[in-house]
A and B are shown apart, each in its own frame.
Chain A
Amino acid sequence: MQLDKKRSIRQALAIATCGVLSQSPVSLQAADISWKSDMTTLHYAEQGRVSVSETIASFRREVGEDEWVSLKFSWDAITGASANGAIFNPPKSGSTQTVTSPSGTSRTFQTGGSETVDPLTRFKDVRVAAQVSNGQYLTPTLKGEAVGNLSFENDYDSYGAGGTLAWDIFQRMITLTGGLSIDIDTVRPINGNPPEFASISNTARLGQGEKQTIQSIIGLSQVVNRKTLTQLNYSRTMNDGYLTDPYKIVTVIDAASGAPVDYLYEKRPTSRVRNAIFWNTAHHFTEDVAHFSYRYYWDDWGVRSHTSDIQYRLEVWRGHSLQTSFRYYTQTAADFYQYSLTQGQPLPSFASADYRLGHLITKSTGIKYSIPFSKQIDFSLRAEQTHQNDADNLFPSVNATLFQAIFSISDRVDYAQSSRAPP
């Protein structure tokens, strides 16, 4: 068995192995500290009502091994008007409208039905918020994160802190999560909060209201198979303090004619315990991905809701994708929800005509197009249309449209993004 060119075999081999193994492994020194940044800006508009513009920028960076810090800023501006629960006269009795506003400009009001209250409260509000968080791997399978946040706007402040833990078990097939957070908010409209159940002609104002929120959550997520991931959460939130909305009004109507005779500021209980069970599943179809979620919510104000959400992300071409989503929401009214109060009847303990505590059905459809500009940059454009109607057909329905642009840039290449499934 003669081998040709015996002496050069070693050289030939060295050359051959060059082709299989890269000579200089990618140096990670420069990319040791990885970072990621996400930015979004959106415009939300309700037909004839509120309009919101918001921008959020977040930045996350690894510090040391298995530890990271992130910072997020958001600012938004809200203008327009939203329904305050007041009922206005039917058109044929003829009326002029006056405007109520949080700046407390005086308004004229006369009983007798010749003047009416604007059913819409106009807003112009700017909000700025910031959030800081620090997370780290306490053990290779236990991840912890601490968060602090604050938010300021013309008539509302919020300070909060919280933490979450995520524990991987069964060889990372199951992850248990737990979280707790506390927020302390101050509700302070210009001139102070109106006394509850006071007539709107009453110009007395109280100081500010304080509200405390404690949220807790436990969850379990499980890898079902190579293509499916599912999660089940239970969360409980407790609100205490001033939970009334200082801009919302309940109409008092005349028992006989049904015409409004007085308008009172609403009153809500000072505590609320909310519960939710949330089930979320992601499934991979080798190219496309679908997400489905369902949430059942109930609280001690009598509100119960079902939320179903489905999203399908279709891979179009070279990393571009088109995602369509549909959300269906129904809720039952709060116990103290009243379309109106009747004159002469004793006042109930609590009452609110805020349609958001009523019997609601919301349907939303959305579409989102994503473009990867490179392995590290991602851009998406999104539009969502929401239709919300009162199931009792008392309040007019609301149509809203949302436009959002999202931009993500990261230092580390997401190799998983470009990996192909084995044949």
Chain B
Amino acid sequence: MKTIFILLFAILLTGCITPIRPWERDLLAQQKMQLIPDAMESEVDQKVFFSKEGSSGGVGVGGGGCGCN
């Protein structure tokens, strides 16, 4: 498991890093292209799922606890 993880990290790092020019960041700058495009949607979903399932986390840290699990 750990080897797969290290491998994935290595692949990402050594992958093509030809920098893209500032004007090419137009699409990436859009809100809908962010890794978490809608913070309210994501927060609510995460809360629903961690309350109803045995797993939690992966996305970020903090946010506090609640008595739902």
Contact = CB atoms under 8 A, between A and B. Distances in A.
A354 to B, nearest CB: 9
B5 to A, nearest CB: 6
A43 to B, nearest CB: 11
A416 B26 contact: yes
A364 to B, nearest CB: 8
Instruction: Name B's interface SS.
Output: loop
B17 A173 contact: yes
A151 B8 contact: no
B3 interface: no
Interface string B51-69: 0111111111111111111
A215 B57 contact: yes
A223 B37 contact: no
A421 B65 contact: no
A44 B8 CA distance: 37
A151 B34 contact: no
Interface in B26-42: 26-35, 37-41
A149 B62 contact: yes
A61 to B, nearest CB: 16
Nearest to B50: A356
Interface in A131-185: 131, 147, 149-151, 153, 155-156, 158, 160-162, 164, 170-171, 173-174, 179-181, 183, 185
Contact of B67 (A125, A160, A221): A125
Interface in A396-419: 398, 400, 402, 404, 406, 408, 414, 416-417, 419
A156 B69 CA distance: 11
Contacts of B53: 305, 329, 331, 356, 360, 362, 388
A156 B64 contact: no
B24 to A, nearest CB: 5
Contact of A230 (B12, B39, B40, B49): B12
Interface string B11-33: 01101110110001111111111
A246 to B, nearest CB: 9
Q: Which of B26, B41, B69 has the most CB of A within 10 A?
A: B41
Contact of A356 (B15, B25, B54, B59): B54
Interface of B: 1, 5, 8-9, 12-13, 15-17, 19-20, 24-35, 37-41, 43-45, 48-49, 52-69
19 contacts: A129-B66, A149-B63, A160-B63, A162-B61, A181-B61, A220-B9, A222-B12, A227-B28, A277-B58, A284-B27, A284-B33, A289-B32, A291-B35, A297-B55, A305-B53, A313-B37, A331-B54, A380-B38, A388-B52
